[in-house]
Structure 1
Amino acid sequence: MTNQANEPGAEALDLAGKHIVLGLSGGIACYKSAELCRGLVKAGATVQVVMTEAAAQFITPVTMQALSGRPVYSSQWDGREPNSMAHINLSREADAMVIAPCSADFIARLVQGRADELLSLMCLARPLDRVPLLVAPAMNREMYAHPATQRNLAQLQADGACVLGVGVGSQACGETGDGRMLEPDELLEDIIAFFMPKVLKGQRVLVTAGPTYEAIDPVRGITNLSSGKMGFAIARAAREAGAEVTLVAGPVSLATPRGVTRVDVKSASNMLSAVAAHAQSATVFIATAAVADWRPAAASAQKIKKDGSGQTPQLQFTENTDILATVAGLPAAQTGRLFCVGFAAESHDLLENAQAKRLRKKVPLLVGNIGPDTFGQDHNALLLIDAQGSLELPRASKLSLARQLVREIAGRMAACAPTDQKATTP
């Protein structure tokens, strides 16, 4: 019988069980808050919207009530609260308060500890030890760059708030620059990441992803069907877990995960150079990329054309340097300061081939999967192999598997860390 808990559609929602107070201050970016509210609900959260009087000039409470499925609050004197203490009741229920948009004026209110309307009063009254405050600034570029705003943002962070970034681009006023509120999907990704356990805090993770492309001539080349989705999911999961992440990506058209540094490469030699430049400072290397084993010995400077003879061109191949084996051979990897994880995409005999590859590459952890079942797909199943045996991660979304893999890596690193390091590991 199929275990429905392992079916892709049965996976846990990222914010299941979380109750979010979504606060809106005045600004045109309120139109993005509607989509953010919808995204939070779809991720499993319950959302209580609280709006300032200024926010209601840009979007109606009716809209936010329809999207959240809950009545919207805007007055500290709201008669729906029997004890007339909406600022206490609503803040105590929250797992987090998110102010999006957070205008320059509202940032100043927070820093000053103002409490002259419901939303700022709730921020002041919230229990600091268990209700975090996340703010998404939104304002004109000159307002954002003003020393007073920058001082206020720095003080807000010093007071314990999590200040999310801002976007860069065209603004409603017609100007262009910093200060736009982040897009709803970016904010949602940041909020989800905020709640994730920081099992890799302090680690520097280097990930490779996607295929490589080995040129035959200016218009043709050798590549494979890897989409890069697994590697990008791992980069996101590592960042969610608190790591500083560098992603070396082959030729794929995927969006860079939030907070991840991306290095784009094309060929296996390009990828080797990029990995070599970052491996010395990394503490974890995850080789997810499907790197070409061979490349043409010499790419033609011009397109190789048919001549009508029926004869095929004679191509000579040379073997690419093994990136995983190269990194695993570094002194940092040999001494345990760099934890190396390899991937094996096989077409058959997964366990046997993956076990052999782990020993051949000399890495502590090898992740196996069946290539035809994963390339280009949003779901996968993984087989983790180390010196103690194997562990199967049943089919799930690649992001779900990436988060499980990150936890497994963190656990293995903690188990093999020297005693003096275990005492200080976050």
Structure 2
Amino acid sequence: MLETKRVLLAVSGGIAAFKAAALTSKLVQAGFSVKVMMTKNAEKFISPLTFQALSREPVYTDTFEEPDPSQIAHIDIADWADVILCAPASADLIAKMAGGHADDMVTTTLLASTAPVYVAPAMNVHMYAHPAVKRNMDQLKLDGCRFIEPDEGYLACGYTGKGRMAEPEDLLAMMQHHFIYETHPEWHGKKVLVTAGPTREVIDPVRYISNRSSGKMGFALAEEAAARGAHVILIAGPSALPDPHGVTRINVTSAEEMKNAVLKHAEEQDIIIKAAAVSDYRPEKTYAYKVKKTDEDQEVHLERTTDILLELGKIKKERQTLIGFAAESDDLHTYAVEKLKRKNADMICANSITTPGGGFEADTNALTLFFQNKDNVSIQQTSKKAAAKVILDEAHTLWREKQ
């Protein structure tokens, strides 16, 4: 992040308080400045010393404890926060917030702050569904609080259902998205489609043809676009990567499945980014059974798959921006320019797969962006997340010029 963002974490009483410790660590590692305040019941589950060690900041537990006589602690940290995250938010804390109570450090600070407030509930499944809790959450939504839905699963009480606090990774993503969203109003409501990962072309139930694409570049683009406020559809080939926060993911396997999914959603998109490494060929014949090995050589006849980017270029609307990728081992410039023109793309993101740290499966990339009507843009080797920011900046410039 360009500057340190300040997160005030409010921890209330509940077994999910242990997740708040992991969240504190993740926030600090991600570059946030974190201060923690705790209810008295939270201290029964986890020690303030834990949060102090993880945040490297004092932990606030008592409204009347004023270590600095020149400041009023709950006013000072209320003014300090860029955002407040209540995690876990117990039914009791939610009720107090809805009623405007100010009887401890957490509730007093919440009333004194003008920062955006996120609430991550954590409680028993029946408590979460109780009319009083629902009523309190509805009131807080009207007051401007933003809720992070709990997960479904096994709860500490022994029940299985909705009420488990969102995972620290999801809460971290929400905080990152909050600050990215606020600084990119031009992306709010944009419709973006991203393809990512490899495809698999089946030979038999055991064997297939594929490539080494991990999907990391496409997933980074989808995640960044969603964080900026776009409505993102991610059409992904086989990949073990987790769903990016705020993205609608459609899983496919073959090139044909990816083509069908892309064409189904293409017309309504503002920006389409085809980052997937789609197989160029598939077996002409497939088998429903495992082909047994013999002493003889085997031949697999291949047929061409549909060129999805080429098809998109044919049906592209004047208002749409179409972006493709080119992974090359040699003569990068020639192939990228040819691809740009022949497929009617607005931008081609080209990278050399022979450059260390710039090929498939790596967390980094080095790219050259080619355009129809302006000079190339070089992205020196950097993380794929950082590269995604540059690509999206250029994509929006292209889109805006078309409007």
So what's the TM-score if we normalise by structure 2? 0.94
CA deviation after TM superposition for structure 1 residue 83, in Å:
4.5
Length, aligned pairs only: 396
Quick check: 1:334 aligned with 2:321? no
**CA 1:261/1:186 → structure 2, altered by over 3 Å: closer, same or farther?**
same
CA deviation after TM superposition for structure 1 residue 265, in Å:
0.9
Answer whether contact 2:227 2:246 (CA < 8 A) is retained: no
**CA 1:49/1:394 → structure 2, altered by over 3 Å: closer, same or farther?**
same
Aligned letter for 1:334?
K
Answer whether contact 1:78 1:84 (CA < 8 A) is retained: no
Quick check: 1:358 aligned with 2:340? yes
Report the Cα distance in structure 2 between the residues aligned to 1:272 and 1:203, rounded to whole angstroms: 22
Aligned residue in 2 for 1:52: 39
Aligned residue in 2 for 1:344: 326
What is the CA RMSD across the aligned residues, in angstroms? 1.5
Aligned residue in 2 for 1:177: 161
Aligned residue in 1 for 2:175: 191
Answer whether contact 2:218 2:276 (CA < 8 A) is retained: yes
Q: After TM superposition, list the pairs within 5 Å mapping 1:146-295 onto structure 2.
A: 146-196=130-180, 197-198=183-184, 199-295=186-282
Structure 1: give runs of 5+ residues left out of the alignment. Answer: 1-13, 418-426
Report the Cα distance in structure 2 between the residues aligned to 1:386 and 1:218, rounded to whole angstroms: 42
**CA 1:355/1:296 → structure 2, altered by over 3 Å: closer, same or farther?**
same
* SS class of match (1:301): coil
**CA 1:157/1:405 → structure 2, altered by over 3 Å: closer, same or farther?**
farther
Answer whether contact 2:66 2:73 (CA < 8 A) is retained: no
CA deviation after TM superposition for structure 1 residue 79, in Å:
2.5
* SS class of match (2:84): strand
Answer whether contact 2:346 2:398 (CA < 8 A) is retained: no
* SS class of match (1:192): helix
Structure 2: give runs of 5+ residues left out of the alignment. Answer: none
CA deviation after TM superposition for structure 1 residue 171, in Å:
0.4
CA deviation after TM superposition for structure 1 residue 248, in Å:
0.9
Report the Cα distance in structure 2 between the residues aligned to 1:260 and 1:15, rounded to whole angstroms: 24
Aligned letter for 2:270?
T
CA deviation after TM superposition for structure 1 residue 151, in Å:
2.6
Report the Cα distance in structure 1 between the residues aligned to 2:342 and 2:130, rounded to whole angstroms: 57
Given the alignment, which residue of 13, 18, 36 partners 1:26?
13
Report the Cα distance in structure 2 between the residues aligned to 1:161 and 1:56, rounded to whole angstroms: 25
Aligned residue in 2 for 1:96: 83
Identity %: 42
Report the Cα distance in structure 1 between the residues aligned to 2:268 and 2:384, rounded to whole angstroms: 27
Given the alignment, which residue of 290, 293, 308 partners 2:295?
308
CA deviation after TM superposition for structure 1 residue 238, in Å:
0.9
* SS class of match (1:334): coil
Aligned residue in 2 for 1:136: 120
* SS class of match (1:105): helix
Answer whether contact 1:21 1:49 (CA < 8 A) is retained: yes
Report the Cα distance in structure 2 between the residues aligned to 1:117 and 1:268, rounded to whole angstroms: 58
Answer whether contact 2:200 2:255 (CA < 8 A) is retained: yes
CA deviation after TM superposition for structure 1 residue 124, in Å:
0.8
Report the Cα distance in structure 2 between the residues aligned to 1:151 and 1:406, rounded to whole angstroms: 40
* SS class of match (1:218): coil
CA deviation after TM superposition for structure 1 residue 25, in Å:
1.0
* SS class of match (2:163): strand
Report the Cα distance in structure 2 between the residues aligned to 1:89 and 1:118, rounded to whole angstroms: 12
CA deviation after TM superposition for structure 1 residue 215, in Å:
1.4
Report the Cα distance in structure 2 between the residues aligned to 1:249 and 1:313, rounded to whole angstroms: 31
CA deviation after TM superposition for structure 1 residue 119, in Å:
0.9
Given the alignment, which residue of 388, 397, 401 partners 1:411?
397
Report the Cα distance in structure 2 between the residues aligned to 1:154 and 1:30, rounded to whole angstroms: 24
CA deviation after TM superposition for structure 1 residue 412, in Å:
2.1
CA deviation after TM superposition for structure 1 residue 326, in Å:
1.4
Answer whether contact 2:270 2:399 (CA < 8 A) is retained: no
Report the Cα distance in structure 2 between the residues aligned to 1:181 and 1:32, rounded to whole angstroms: 8
